[in-house]
Amino acid sequence: MRGTLNDRSPIYLQIAQMLEDDILRESFREEEQVPSTNELAREYNINPATAAKGIDLLVSEGILYKRRGIGMFVAKGAGSMVRQKRKAAFYDGYVKPLVKEGASLALTGEELVAMIQQAMGEEKDK
């Protein structure tokens, strides 16, 4: 697993996000075992209960599942689930505020779309 912990959000959420990142990068593929709570606790020097809380969050979302006595595994379709979850968060966290700010500046939809297309072109040229 890649990543470092920070103070910006709860540790268990960061653990869940790092696992999701690894699923999206296909570091962990469908039906592949992910690190145990004890392995995560050792790697990040955190309480195993905190690591378990991050894993349990992904289990509750259907991204991971438990094989009794063996460990946690990536569910079929987990990559699509993570991508869909992140798209929804992107919409709520970025697109809606962008549209709201655009409206406060009296931007038309066409102007806003043109700005987004321009930014995408600039990003592509990097």
Task: Supply the mean pLDDT for the chain.
Answer: 95
Q: Hey, which residues does 33 pair with through a beta bridge? A: 73
Please, what is the Cα angle at 89 between 85 and 95, to 5 degrees?
135
Query: Model pTM?
Result: 0.83
- The owner of tokens 């309480």 is 47
At 26-84, the pLDDT tens digits run 999 999 999 999 999 999 999 999 999 999 999 999 999 999 999 999 999 999 999 99
Count of CB atoms situated within 10 Å of the CB of 76 = 12
At 44-56, the pLDDT tens digits run 999 999 999 999 9
The domain segmentation of the chain, as residue ranges, is 11-78, 86-125
Architecture of the domain made up of 11-78: Orthogonal Bundle (1.10)
